[in-house]
Amino acid sequence: MRQSRRRFIKTALASLAAMPAIFSSRIQAAEEQLIPLQESDTMAVQFQYKDDIEATDPKPSNFKPGSDCANCLLFKPGNNGCGIFPGKSVKPKGWCLAWAPRPN
């Protein structure tokens, strides 16, 4: 009976030790499954998202020279995610109305 309890505790501890690795890999997999945002996406249109703001002519009226997704506070460099468009990835050279400067 004691050995059975010890075995159970060891198994439980081993399982707990593996949890962070399991969750980490699931979170990473979820982050990798972002769908590229299309300029024609309804929300992208509302936020005037552009894949390449430098190539966009004319520029949106609220555009500030030098601003793009890569230097936006809401950009997630690890997977090109964006806080405004959950589940979608944006282009580092992109831009939208929600652009906010990333603190240095």
What number of chain residues touch ligand SF4 (CB under 6 A)?
13
Asked if 50 interacts with ligand SF4 (CB under 6 A), we say no
At closest approach, how far in Å is the CB of 72 from ligand SF4?
A: 3
User: Which residues in 53-92 contact ligand SF4 (CB under 6 A)?
Assistant: 69, 72, 74-75, 82, 84, 90
Pairing mode, strands 35-36 and 88-89: parallel
Asked if 96 interacts with ligand SF4 (CB under 6 A), we say yes
Query: Among 42, 94, 102, 104, which residue sits at the site for ligand SF4 (rule: CB under 6 A)?
Result: 94
56: three-class secondary structure by DSSP: coil
For residue 41, report the phi and psi dihedrals to the nearest 5 degrees: -55, 140
Distance set, CA 87 to CA 48, 66, 76, 95 (Å): 18, 26, 12, 17
